Amino acid sequence: MAGDWQRAAAVTLILGWSMASAGCTQTETVAGPVAESAVPAKFLTDPELFAPGAKVFKYRCAACHSMDANKSQFFGPHLDGLIQRKIAGTPGYTFTEEVQQLSIVWTTPVLLEWLERPQQMVADMCMPFTGLPKQADREALLAYIYQASEAK
Q: What residues make contact with ligand HEC under the rule CB under 6 A?
A: 14, 60-61, 63-65, 75-77, 79, 82, 87-90, 95-96, 99, 106, 125-129, 132, 141
Smallest gap, in angstroms, from Cβ of residue 48 to ligand HEC? 19
Residue nearer to ligand HEC on the CB measure, 3 or 91: 91
Q: Which residue type sits at 90?
A: T
Smallest gap, in angstroms, from Cβ of residue 75 to ligand HEC? 5
Residue nearer to ligand HEC on the CB measure, 41 or 79: 79
Smallest gap, in angstroms, from Cβ of residue 145 to ligand HEC? 7
Residue 56, burial from CB neighbour count under 10 angstroms (0-12, 13-18, 19+): buried
List Cα–Cα distances, 23 to 79, 89, 134, in angstroms. 24, 24, 23
Residue nearer to ligand HEC on the CB measure, 90 or 119: 90
Q: Among candidates 135, 129, 93, which has minimal Cα distance to 15?
A: 129
Residue nearer to ligand HEC on the CB measure, 46 or 116: 116
Residue nearer to ligand HEC on the CB measure, 82 or 148: 82
Smallest gap, in angstroms, from Cβ of residue 132 to ligand HEC? 6
Smallest gap, in angstroms, from Cβ of residue 14 to ligand HEC? 5
